[in-house]
């Protein structure tokens, strides 16, 4: 249920392929900067048909004292069905991502997916704007080629602490997005500035639908803009997961549904949700 009307026809659902558990060969696993790494894996037929916004549950290996028990959810960063390859862009933070980072090419890693519901695109070819920070960029990156292929103009606002940490700029540009980088160090990433930029894009006819991921502040800004302009939008959200497929109810978050606050499971009812229903965290 969309809380406000929007001027675009109902979005096209992208049916996900059947999820499965499999061992994938690691093609490469390289640092991108001091915090992030990019892992590319070879996957069996079908798995590379995954949709932008879907994710995999990754079984991180045990390594010495580091013994991750749960799988780790990771968005698909790059989808290459021709090569039968998928990539994950991940931040090395805790137990699981640290053991993931140790894996060498040709090692295998156990994946479960693709899972969850991906992004939906407006039907009428409206121009779209992606708004992301940090890990959120990984989640939205594959939306660019999909949207371009479906005939949408794409603008991406990439937010980061410093210009050096703006990730994936080339990835977005190569895929055909118009990229605007905003950073804390340059003072351009403030919410007010981003809201102004969004209004500017709208005035230029470049903002027909809005997608956001990776920052609570940006999501709230996007909601304000979408509400004001009556735009269709989606937010991709995170929550800790155990099963990844809707069985355990650990990954719930609160959502606005009409006048009610309801709990929805990020794994199976998301991770992509209608922008205006998401509540801040």
Ligand X SMILES: Cc1cc2nc3c(=O)[nH]c(=O)nc-3n(C[C@H](O)[C@H](O)[C@H](O)COP(=O)(O)OP(=O)(O)OC[C@H]3O[C@@H](n4cnc5c(N)ncnc54)[C@H](O)[C@@H]3O)c2cc1C
Binding-site residue set: 72-75, 96-97, 243, 248, 251, 267
Q: Which letter does DSSP use for residue 230 in this model?
A: T
Binding residues for ligand X, per CB under 6 A? 55, 68, 70, 72-75, 77, 88-91, 93-97, 135, 138-139, 238-241, 266, 271
Count of C-beta atoms within a 10 Å radius of residue 124: 12
Strands 232-236 and 252-257: unpaired
Closest separation in Å from C-beta 33 to another protein: 24
Q: Is residue 197 within a helix (H) or strand (E), and if so which, with residue range?
A: helix 191-203
State the binding partner of 64 from its own copies, ligand X, another protein, none, CB within 5 to 8 A by kind.
its own copies
Tell me which of its own copies, another protein, ligand X, none is bound by residue 170, counting a contact when its beta carbon lies within the kind-specific cut-off of 5 to 8 angstroms: none
From residue 129, alpha-carbon distances to 5, 22, 32, 61, 136 in Å are 19, 34, 24, 37, 14
97: its two tokens: 């991502």
Q: Which of ligand FES, its own copies, ligand X, none has residue 191 at its interface (CB below 5 to 8 Å by kind)? A: none
d(Cα 123, Cα 109) in Å, to the nearest integer? Answer: 37
- Closest distance between ligand X and the C-beta of residue 220, in Å? 18
Instruction: Assess 267 for contact with ligand FES (CB under 6 A).
Output: yes
DSSP letters spanning 67-81: ---S-EEEE--EEET
Q: Which of residues 227-256 bind ligand FES (CB under 6 A)?
A: 241-244, 246-251
Q: Are 152 and 125 in contact (CB under 8 A)?
A: yes
Select the binding partner of residue 173 from ligand X, ligand FES, another protein, none (C-beta < 5 to 8 A, by kind): none
Q: Which does 21 bind (CB under 5 to 8 A by kind): ligand FES, another protein, its own copies, none?
A: another protein
b or e along 248-281 (b: 16 or more beta carbons within 10 Å of the residue's beta carbon)?
Answer: eeebebebeeeeeeeebbbbbbbbbbbbbbbbee
Binding region for ligand FES (CB under 6 A): 241-244, 246-251, 265, 267-268
- Which positions lie near another protein, rule CB under 8 A? 18-21, 59, 65, 67-71, 112, 239-240, 242-250, 252-253, 263, 268
């Amino acid at each position: 249920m969309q809380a406000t009307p929007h001027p675009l026809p109902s979005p096209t659902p992208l049916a996900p392929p059947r999820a499965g558990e499999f061992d994938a060969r690691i093609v490469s696993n390289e640092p991108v900067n001091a915090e992030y790494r990019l892992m590319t894996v070879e996957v069996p037929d079908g798995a590379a048909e995954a949709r932008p916004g879907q994710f995999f549950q990754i079984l991180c290996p045990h390594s010495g004292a580091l013994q991750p028990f749960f799988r780790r959810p990771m968005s698909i960063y790059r989808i290459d069905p021709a090569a039968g390859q998928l990539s994950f862009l991940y931040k090395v933070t805790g137990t699981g991502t640290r053991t993931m980072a140790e894996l060498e090419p040709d090692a295998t890693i156990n994946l479960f997916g693709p899972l969850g519901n991906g992004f939906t695109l407006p039907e009428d070819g409206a121009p779209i704007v992606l708004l992301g920070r940090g890990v959120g960029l990984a989640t939205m990156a594959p939306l660019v080629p999909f949207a371009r292929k479906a005939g949408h103009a794409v603008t991406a606002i990439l937010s980061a602490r410093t210009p050096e940490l703006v990730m994936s700029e080339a990835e977005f540009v190569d895929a055909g997005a118009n990229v605007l980088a905003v950073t804390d160090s340059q003072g351009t990433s403030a919410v007010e500035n981003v809201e102004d930029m969004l209004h500017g894009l709208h005035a230029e006819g470049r903002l027909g639908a809005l997608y956001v991921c990776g920052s609570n502040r940006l999501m709230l800004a996007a909601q304000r803009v979408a509400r004001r302009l009556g735009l269709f939008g989606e937010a991709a959200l995170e929550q800790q997961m155990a099963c990844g497929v809707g069985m355990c109810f650990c990954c719930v978050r609160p959502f606005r549904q009409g006048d009610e606050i309801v709990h929805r499971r990020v794994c199976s009812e998301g991770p992509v949700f209608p922008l205006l229903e998401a509540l801040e965290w």
